[in-house]
Structure 1
């Protein structure tokens, strides 16, 4: 039996990249995983199929986030497949337009905050009505919320900073139910979404620079983030709450 056997998990943005890695990792530990997607149904179905091929249990649910009624739509889709949730991973997010403050339009700012901060807030609000005692809430943040090194991602870093405050504050409110709330903050991760500027012969210098930023001398893969989430979701992480977990491989040191 895995460490999460008998648990039900929901991973937003679980069809690709870090989200898919988290969904597959939780499933390997025995959790039944709801793989949420916004538009990419094919990737969500492939993620579910991969989990099932490996002997796990999963189902796909669709809901656009960052729009009116998003949390209600997501949980309605979830409720059609499961009763109650034990693990909620707020992973879905957007980097938004890469623009400095002087070039950022109000609607671009609002779009980033709607998906990265508002959606997790209200998804969690409704999720708490369904979460069993001893549940886990894990928010995917970023190293940029603590060390903002990229002015062109100012809106993104601000939205994740809001998520960090949400994490610590909510932990104080739900602790009496045995629910833990933590944020996991990756740095640059080798995913398909980053492949265009990170992988390949033309990007060897970039890869080397990212690896050199970590004392461990490597670029993170999806597994490094998923394993951290799995620890927090397990009983081994039961006394860790309200924390911002640096998963940048020490790149912020």
Structure 2
């Protein structure tokens, strides 16, 4: 990993609540934030993993059990965060759940459960943390959506709908909270928690090209290993949390290795490298 991007003081003075931080993207964000000088609250329902990560990160981090669908849990977490660290000026809404199934197979309860965690949870977080951020003199909220909110696939009706809604929530929050010095942005990564996929597809999945003329072998999707991709996402979230992104609010930031840019079509000009160029 190239540490030239990271600065120990980049997030100095920042106190961040990161939901879903016990593993995956959230854990990488927590590690990077601590390395960059922030104090971090790891919020999750995976107690053993969360406590282990907090112990790894030391005195600048703590773990709090929090169900993001509970306003009471949010209020307790923000209160505890202020008690421990003095202020709270960064929120990363990363917690999410997955349900895969066709529209025909999906029940209203399936749909509501995903929306409750993936969309109602972030709304509650924004609602509860805003007074704390105002007390801190402003802050930054980063919502973690998905490339599925831009480029959905079959079987993703619950997840993609929730993440599309999170993009809209981001814009409304940015409009309403800007007057308080609070910025709100959303990242849309193509990589996330493999653990969420396993119950639905096992340990292997094959993604078929939607365009029959597209050659998947020509799309460079494997240049980065998953861990490196998660670190890339964490770095972008750190940028949005930092004062370096002071003019950024109400925007989508796509981190998908070019997945939504389009496709390489075999047989058309530009479908392969030109040696002499």
Tell me the number of residue pairs that the alignment of Structure 1 and Structure 2 aligns. Answer: 240
CA distance in 2, matches of 1:182, 1:5: 20
CA distance in 2, matches of 1:58, 1:44: 10
Deviations 1:98-141 (A, max 9, x none): 11111111111110000000011011101001012231000000
SS in structure 1 of the partner of residue 43 of structure 2: strand
Q: Which residue of 2 aligns with 1:129?
A: 131
SS in structure 1 of the partner of residue 84 of structure 2: coil
Quote how far apart the aligned CAs of 1:57 are: 0.8
1:157 pairs with 2:150: no
- Indicate the structure (1 or 2) with the bigger Cα radius of gyration: 2
CA distance in 2, matches of 1:248, 1:108: 27
Quote how far apart the aligned CAs of 1:50 are: 1.8
CA distance in 1, matches of 2:73, 2:106: 25
Aligned counterpart in structure 1 of residue 104 of structure 2, from 90, 102, 105: 102
TM-score (norm 1): 0.85
| Superposition RMSD in Å | 2.6
Q: Which residue of 2 aligns with 1:169?
A: 172
Aligned counterpart in structure 2 of residue 72 of structure 1, from 47, 71, 75: 75
Quote how far apart the aligned CAs of 1:244 are: 0.6
1:51 pairs with 2:57: yes
Comparing 138-147 with 63-72, which one deviates more in the overlay?
A: 63-72
Aligned counterpart in structure 1 of residue 118 of structure 2, from 93, 99, 116: 116
Deviations 1:61-86 (A, max 9, x none): 01223357443344344355343311
Quote how far apart the aligned CAs of 1:37 are: 1.2
CA distance in 2, matches of 1:21, 1:69: 27
Q: Which residue of 1 aligns with 2:93?
A: 90
CA distance in 1, matches of 2:142, 2:76: 20
Q: Which residue of 2 aligns with 1:229?
A: 237
Q: Structure 2: any 5+ residue segments left out of the alignment?
A: 1-7, 208-214, 262-277
CA distance in 2, matches of 1:175, 1:68: 23
Q: Structure 1: any 5+ residue segments left out of the alignment?
A: none
Deviations 1:117-167 (A, max 9, x none): 001101110100101223100000001111112x21111101111110010
1:41 pairs with 2:47: yes
Quote how far apart the aligned CAs of 1:176 are: 2.1
CA distance in 1, matches of 2:144, 2:217: 21
More strand by share: 1
Contact 1:48–1:59 (CA under 8 A) maintained in structure 2: yes
- In structure 2, the CA distance between the partners of 1:76 and 1:177, relative to structure 1 (3 Å rule), is closer
1:140 pairs with 2:147: no
Q: Which residue of 1 aligns with 2:195?
A: 193
